[in-house]
Amino acid sequence: MSNPVLHRSVTVPGDICHISCVTPDRVWIGDHDGKNIILINSEGDILHMTNVMSMRGQHTVNLTGDLIYIDRDGNIIKLSQDNRTKTTLIKKTEEWEPKCIYSSHLNGDLLVGIWSYKKGIIARYNGSGQLKQIIQHGNTGQKLYYDPIYITENNNGDVIVSDLGHHAVVVTDYEGRPRFSYSGPPSGSGLFPQGICTDALSHILVCDFITSTIHMIDRDGHFLSLILTRPQGINGPMGLSYDDKSHLLWVGLYGGEKKVRVYRYIERQDYLQSITNQSKINI
pLDDT 10s digits, 55-83:
677 999 999 999 999 998 899 999 999 99
Question: What whole-number distance in Å separates Cα of residue 279 and Cα of residue 267?
Answer: 17
In 10 A of CB 73, how many CB atoms?
Answer: 11
pLDDT of residue 238: 94
CA neighbours closer than 13 Å in the CB half-sphere of residue 194: 24
CA neighbours closer than 13 Å in the CB half-sphere of residue 182: 26
Residue type at 87 in one-letter notation: T
Residues 6+ apart with CB under 8 A from 149: 56, 57, 99, 100, 113, 162, 163, 164, 193, 194
Residue type at 24 in one-letter notation: P
Cβ atoms of 214 and 208 closer than 8 Å: yes
Low-confidence ranges of the chain (pLDDT < 50): none
The structure's pTM equals 0.93
pLDDT of residue 13: 86
Residue type at 83 in one-letter notation: N
pLDDT of residue 194: 96
Residues 6+ apart with CB under 8 A from 248: 7, 24, 242, 262, 263, 264
pLDDT of residue 3: 87
Which domains, ranges and CATH numbers included, belong to the chain?
Answer: 5-275 (2.120.10.30)
pLDDT of residue 119: 85
pLDDT of residue 272: 65
